[in-house]
Amino acid sequence: MKLQVELVRSPIGSRRKSRRTIQALGLRKLRQVVVHEDNPSIRGMLYRVRHMVAVRPVEASDGPT
């Protein structure tokens, strides 16, 4: 299963560790969306910045990945 992650709050003014986590997730701009494979390390990162991101599951598609 994959997770769609969207940056909904700016990391400006947040703690350095949270800003670095947002960077590690591949998010740079507000409303930017990235897709990650669901695994414990990604879940931990999302938990740390849960107040700044919106997460939705992505269903598997039959098309190319």
CATH class, domain 2-58, is alpha beta
Q: What is the pTM of this model?
A: 0.86
If you ran DSSP here, which 8-state letter would residue 50 be given?
Answer: T
pLDDT number for residue 59: 84
Measured CA to CA in angstroms, residue 50 lies from 23, 61, 62, 64 at distances of: 14, 26, 30, 30
Question: Which letter, b or e, does each residue of 12-41 get, where b requires 16 or more Cβ atoms within 10 Å of its Cβ?
Answer: eeeeeeebebbeebebeeeeeeeebeeeee
CB 25 within 8 A of CB 47: no
pLDDT given at position 62: 55
Tens digit of each residue's pLDDT (9 = 90 or more) over 3-31: 999 999 999 999 999 999 999 999 999 99
pLDDT tens digits for range 35-62 = 999 999 999 999 999 999 999 999 876 5
